[in-house]
Amino acid sequence: MNRTLTVRCAVPSAHNSENWEFRQYDIEIEGESSVMDVLKKLYQQKDHDIVFYSYCRQGLCAGCRVEVNGRRVLACQTLAESGIEIKPVLDD
Ligand code: FES
């Protein structure tokens, strides 16, 4: 079943390369999708400024760490929900 999620995602600021800015998107997904799936879809369909890392997609490499609503998670292992805010982990 398709549904539309509204997500906010941090992207590098066009005005200052050391800052990030949030952009909001509506994205249609099929069934349950991980945060990684949503980031990929956003990149492919909506905004090429989105930056993310994807390698193992099995929870092994930890390279896809992001903050979702202020909590550190693995994007490939976390289900996406409408209303989430996604930003990179910058202090590792
Ligand atoms: S891509 Fe390796 S843990 Fe998510």
Distance CA 29, CA 4 (A): 6
Full DSSP string of 81-92: -TT-EEEE----
Please determine, for residue 91, whether its predicted confidence score (pLDDT) is greater than 70. yes
Residue ranges of the domains in the chain? 2-88
User: What separation in Å is there between the alpha carbon of 13 and the centre of ligand 1?
Assistant: 25
> What is the per-residue pLDDT across 4-20, written as a single tens digit (0 to 9) for each?
999 999 999 888 777 89
| Residue bearing the CA closest to ligand 1, atom 3 | 59
Residue 92 above 70 pLDDT?
no
Would you say domain 2-88 falls under CATH 3.10.20.30? yes
Q: How far apart are CA 65 and CA 42, in angstroms?
A: 17
Which of ligand 1's atoms lies nearest the C-alpha of 55?
1
The model's pTM is 0.92
Protein residues whose CB sits closer than 6 Å to any atom of ligand 1: 54-57, 59-64, 74, 76
